[in-house]
Amino acid sequence: MENPVLIEMIRGPLVESRHRGAVAVSDFEGQILFALGDLAAPVFPRSAVKALQALPLIEQGAADRFSLSEEELALACASHSGEAAHVAGVERMLAKAGLKPSDLRCGAHWPIAQAAAAAVARSGAPSPLHNNCSGKHAGFLCVARALGVDHADYWRPEHPVQHLVRSVLEDFTGAALGEVVCAIDGCSVPTWAVPLRNLAHGFAKFGVGRGISAERARAVAQLRQACVNKPWYVAGTGRFCTDVMQLFGDRVFVKTGAEGIYCAALPQQGLGIALKCDDGASRAAQAIMAAVIARVLPLTASERAAIERLASPVMRNWNGFEVGRVQLTDALR
Amino acid sequence: MENPVLIEMIRGPLVESRHRGAVAVSDFEGQILFALGDLAAPVFPRSAVKALQALPLIEQGAADRFSLSEEELALACASHSGEAAHVAGVERMLAKAGLKPSDLRCGAHWPIAQAAAAAVARSGAPSPLHNNCSGKHAGFLCVARALGVDHADYWRPEHPVQHLVRSVLEDFTGAALGEVVCAIDGCSVPTWAVPLRNLAHGFAKFGVGRGISAERARAVAQLRQACVNKPWYVAGTGRFCTDVMQLFGDRVFVKTGAEGIYCAALPQQGLGIALKCDDGASRAAQAIMAAVIARVLPLTASERAAIERLASPVMRNWNGFEVGRVQLTDALR
């Protein structure tokens, strides 16, 4: 099935580039209320399901045992920008569990935030703490400690921590996650491909705590609340997920993943959203997510103006001149 | 017209993302010998035509008058990585013409090369010299000096330098470049949209010096030779354009542009290549270019192995694990 063009990148008088994609909006019973493109093909959710991957942290008692704060729980669900307080938070999580930065197995990369990268360059080189996934990995390590198992291989598919993660993902999405849909993520943990329809259903359940056990619903509520209360720790300065959760508070949970994935939960509407841009472009995926939120969430005039700026941002060049804009196609408007 | 899927990004057992695009291969008389997708829609060539934009530098006598070296001519055609020798070369060009870095109007951005960016961070902040287009802008400034006109507004569409540039582009591509296809580039100079068919024809002419005046053919040969002799100055360490020209010497001239554009000239075959990835992805555009070169250029076994590595690179994660690969679709194989 051919996915429709959802985003056009306008430069001057012409469309310069185009992005196709698919979108699912589901209620917590799995009924699809808005659909564009192919919802049945399995897609790798990558970091968009970090909040589900972090659930064992609460369910296995690690969050309580190590007295993790809301900031630290948000970091466990984060693709953070590697800013100073992100890095300090991850170090704190590790220390609380009696672990060291060298226990992280996510690999090192430069901070996403340019200013943070420049600061790291001035004092040395990036470490695994700066990896955008370091909070998730610190969370996995805390779970391994709470389980009392060897933590060295916490990232491998056969490790008890990843077994728990897979079981959570299956419970929320209703998808069977076997080897035929399993690949390795950028940070080396497994990523299992799931149809957008199932991801949207899973995030509707995540938002309202229905269709899962009462105990799991309480754990989810605690984790979701940590993210929407401390959205800076889920991404960082000027990032889409942070900006949207700062704008809407507990009315929207949203999380990006690599290769053009976004998932969201709208608890008051009982809805979940999952989308993927075919070509993996984040610039298009976030515009699509903003447009879908604008469609399904009741908004004040100022909220509408803010979300529309995210859906159709102006593009400026190195001199700050306006050179074009992101434009939604009719399919999304 | 719908462009075909040309590149699939494989992760583990599945296709994660896909890229559509169009490709034109033309001879110097404008006959299309290989075509995929829409060749008639105007596309912004962006930096892929920098060698054409630099031609007035030779034709107006600036290169001779300011004794520009091959390295400096290559920089005028470059999207350089902002490495130390790139920056030093641009400063030298400006000094030879009695100009200063502050005369550049391209705007500042961090060097493309990570190591160069880290070095800049340690000593300060990026300047317009680090902009990948600074060599092109230094070239424009040299032309303005050679013309004896005020150089302050050399980047504006109405400036004599940009009039010359437009005239060169029209001569090579045979396209009429009016306001209806004119936009502003990332570095603030005009970019005029041209059909891929015309771009490919233009680069065939660029490669063989046919279909243009004898004087222009000599200027083109000098500029092309500078680029293929000094390919590091056209891009930088580990960059596609540099690697391909180092591999093939004067058999291939290749130049990338933003938003998934590539143009190439194969002088011995009398062919020009122009392609665009619909969604603007460089990773796909360079794989497509490598695949097209592999199709039309006679290759030794080791050259074939090298170009196929560029056409279908393995993707590794932050730990160096192989997580997937770039795959050509049947349309390209």
Taking residues A129-144, what's their average pLDDT? 98
Q: Where are the beta strands (DSSP E) in A96-250?
A: 182-184, 190-192, 194-195
Cβ within 8 Å of B, A 229-268: 259-260
- Residue A124: pLDDT band (50, 70, 90) is very high
Beta carbons of B16 and A43 less than 8 Å apart: yes
Quick one: pLDDT band at residue A4, thresholds 50, 70, 90?
A: very high
| Range A103-113 average pLDDT | 97
Is the per-residue pLDDT at A299 higher than 80?
A: yes
| Cβ atoms < 10 Å from Cβ of A40 | 11
- Using an 8 Å Cβ cutoff, are A19 and A328 in contact? no
A76-102: pLDDT as tens digits: 999 999 999 999 999 999 999 999 999
- Write down the pLDDT at residue B333: 86
Q: Per-residue pLDDT averaged across B114-142, rounded? A: 96
pLDDT higher than 70, residue A65:
yes
pLDDT at position A1 is 65
Residues B279-288 have a mean pLDDT of 98
Q: Inspect the interface and report whether the beta carbons of A280 and B16 lie closer than 8 Å.
A: yes
pLDDT in tens, B43-53: 999 999 999 99
- Please check whether residue A11 touches B, CB under 8 A: yes
Closest CA to B24 of B204, B173, B254, B200: B200
The pLDDT, as a whole number, for residue A97 is 98
How confident is residue B3, by pLDDT bands cut at 50, 70 and 90? very high
Burial class (CB in 10 A: 0-12, 13-18, 19+), B158: exposed
> Does the pLDDT at position B1 exceed 90?
no
Burial class, A229, CB count within 10 angstroms (exposed 0-12 / middle 13-18 / buried 19+): middle
| Distance from C-alpha of B52 to C-alpha of B29, rounded to nearest angstrom | 18
Q: Is B6 on the interface with A (CB under 8 A)?
A: no
For residue B122, list chain A residues with Cβ-Cβ distance below 8 A. Answer: 121-122
pLDDT of A132 over the 80 cut: yes
Q: Do A318 and B17 touch (CB under 8 A)?
A: no
Contact A280, B9 (CB under 8 A): yes
Residue A10: pLDDT over 70 = yes
pLDDT classification of B176: cutoffs 50, 70, 90: very high
Q: Give me the amino acid identity at B239.
A: R
Comparing alpha-carbon positions, the chain A residue that sits nearest to B284 is A279
Closest CA to B22 of B8, B41, B47, B9: B41
Task: Report, as an integer, the average pLDDT of B78-83.
Answer: 98
pLDDT at B320: 96
Determine, for residues A259 and B181 on separate chains, whether the beta-carbon distance falls below 8 Å: no
Chain segment B212-263, per-residue pLDDT in tens: 999 999 999 999 999 999 999 999 999 999 999 999 999 999 999 999 999 9
Do residues B68 and B96 make contact, with C-beta atoms less than 8 angstroms apart? yes
What CA–CA distances, in Å, run from B51 to A74, A233, B273? 49, 46, 14
Question: How large is the average pLDDT for residues A119-143?
Answer: 97
Which residue of chain A has the CA closest to B155? A319
* DSSP string for residues in B58-113: HHTTHHHHTT--HHHHHHHT------HHHHHHHHHHHHHTT--GGG--S-----SS
With a CB cutoff of 8 Å and minimum separation 6, the contacts of A139 are A53, A54, A57, A62, A75, A76, A93
Residue B280 contacts A, CB cutoff 8 Å: yes
Print burial letters for A284-304: b (CB count within 10 Å at least 16), e (below 16): bbbbbbbbbbbbebebeeebe
Give B12's contacts in chain A (Cβ within 8 Å): 182-184
Q: Which A residues in the span 102-141 are in contact with B, Cβ-Cβ below 8 Å?
A: 105-110, 114, 117-119, 121-122, 125, 131
DSSP, collapsed to helix, strand or coil, labels residue B174 as: coil
pLDDT of residue A333: 86
Q: CB of B199 within 8 Å of any CB in chain A?
A: no
pLDDT of residue B118: 96
Q: In the prediction, which pLDDT does A259 show?
A: 98
pLDDT, averaged across chain A: 97
Q: Please give the C-alpha separations between residue A47 and each of A102, A201, B15, B24, in angstroms, as whole numbers.
A: 22, 17, 17, 38
Pick from A70, A71, A146, A144: nearest CA to A103: A144
Min Cα–Cα distance to chain A from B192, Å: 10
The partner residue sitting opposite A183, judged by closest CB among B12, B44, B188, is: B12
Q: How far apart are CA B233 and CA B241, in angstroms?
A: 10
For residue A324, what is the enclosing H or E element?
A: strand A322-328
What is the mean predicted confidence (pLDDT) over B287-312?
98
Which whole number is the average pLDDT over B164-178?
97
Pick from A137, A81, A153: which is nearest to A110 by CA?
Answer: A81
Q: Flag whether pLDDT at A183 surpasses 90.
A: yes
Spatial CA neighbour of B128 closest among B157, B103, B95, B153: B103
Residue B68: HSE in the Cβ half-sphere, 13 Å Cα cutoff: 31
ipTM: 0.97
Nearest to A280 among B17, B109, B131 (CB): B17
The owner of tokens 């892929």 is B48
Q: List Cα–Cα distances, A209 to A82, A255, A308, in angstroms.
A: 31, 18, 29
Give the model confidence (pLDDT) of B255-278 as tens digits: 999 999 999 999 999 999 999 999
Assessment of whether the complete model's pTM goes beyond 0.90: yes
Integer Cα distance of B5 and B18 in angstroms: 7
3-class state of residue A132 by DSSP = coil
- CB of A277 within 8 A of CB of A260? yes
Among A11, A14, A184, select the one facing B12 at the smallest CB separation.
A184
Let me know the angle formed at the C-alpha of A207 by A240 and A191, rounded to the nearest 5 degrees. Answer: 65
pLDDT tens digits, residue range A217-230? Answer: 999 999 999 999 99
Q: Say how far apart CA B56 and CA A104 lie, in whole Å.
A: 55
Please name the helix (run of DSSP H) or strand (run of DSSP E) that holds residue A222, with its range, or none: helix A214-229
